[in-house]
Amino acid sequence: MHIALHNLLAQCSESIQGISLQSKPVDHSWNQALRILPSSILDNLIARGRWRFVFKFAFVGATGAVINLTLLWLLTAYVHIYYIISALIAIEISIIWNFFLNTRATFNYNFPEGTAIVRAMARYHAVSFGGMLINLSALLAFTEVAGIHYVASEFLAILIAFTFNYLASINYVWLDAG
């Protein structure tokens, strides 16, 4: 489980190592953006037709984001929990929500036996942990450094973590779906 996630992160790291920080004309085309992604991930998206799941995954993610943002606001504003702790609680609940909804609504996936769902949920949590680190880092930076309200900051952080979550999920959690 950890080896596949490690390999995915290593592929992403290798693909961006060649990017120069020197000033050059910027190519904003999709082709340039897609060159950054490891070819094996792109091959998996295109060859297996897994790109068709992105909109359903995004919709499920949006429902999870509503749950996340609502819980963050309620726990912080009314229960008076520090916003980072509130975010951790809200993120965990939205992770569980997203796992079950993606399993059914996005991928229409049936696990062969009861232990398979537990293993898949563990993989989804491992993927989501990476997304949560991205999310919390962005939340902290937007709120503390940029001075943006914590709810707006969390919305931006969710958008940033989405790409990682989708690519890691289809290549690691629901590998056989579709």
pLDDT tens, residue by residue, 87-132 = 989 989 999 999 999 999 888 888 888 788 888 899 999 998 898 8
CA-based angle 140:145:151, to the nearest 5? 50
Residue 173: predicted pLDDT: 85
* Cβ(161)–Cβ(135) below 8 Å: yes
Nearest to residue 109, comparing CAs of 40, 46, 50? 50
- The rounded distance, in Å, linking the Cα atoms of 178 and 159 is 24
Nearest to 130 by CA among 26, 5, 16: 5
- What pLDDT is stored for residue 134 in this prediction? 93
Prediction pTM value: 0.62
pLDDT at res. 51: 66
| pLDDT for the residue numbered 28 | 39
Among residues 171, 140, 120, which one has the least CA distance to residue 6?
171
- Residue bearing tokens 């702790």: 85
Provide the pLDDT for residue 5: 45
Could you tell me what percentage of the chain is helix, strand and coil, using 3-state DSSP and rounding each to the nearest 5? 80, 0, 20
* Mean pLDDT of successive 10-residue stretches along the chain, which has 178 residues: 50 42 39 47 56 84 92 96 93 92 88 84 90 91 93 89 85 70
According to the model, what pLDDT value does residue 133 have?
92
Q: What was the pLDDT predicted at 54?
A: 83
**pLDDT of amino acid 97:** 95
